[in-house]
Amino acid sequence: MAQPVPDAIAYEIRVEAALQQRPAALELYCTLVYDAEMERIDKPVIAMFLARLFRNEPGLVEETNKFLDEYAIELESDQTEDGMKQEDIQSEDENTLYSYRQFLNEFNLSD
């Protein structure tokens, strides 16, 4: 079960830092979504930080969508060097990409 209180303090610090630099904000967005998917922190807490992040960063939604589009293109051309099957890795990455896009839509952050 997620423990929002200590994590919320850590995310508060990270959101403030990320707002100072756009690449950090984009990276934080991906981290927030991943942590929500892994249930490291409750989704409503994540949603609060995402809303603040996007509200304070006009254009970040478009930039995030562009990043996700580029990520999708990368998935098509990825090659693996370890023993895992390419299909398994690609499927996992596509699920991650879907989660990122779904999170934008779920919290009304997409255009």
Q: Enumerate the H helices of 1-111 as residue ranges.
A: 4-18, 22-37, 43-56, 60-77, 86-106
Q: What is the pLDDT of residues 4-38, one digit of tens each?
A: 445 666 666 667 666 666 666 667 777 777 777 67
Q: What is the residue extent of each domain of the chain?
A: 4-106
Contacts of residue 71, defined as CB under 8 A and 6 or more positions apart, other chains included, come to: 93, 97
Contacts of residue 106, defined as CB under 8 A and 6 or more positions apart, other chains included, come to: 47
Q: Percentage of the chain with pLDDT > 90?
A: 0
pTM: 0.42
Band (pLDDT 50/70/90 cuts) for residue 3 is very low
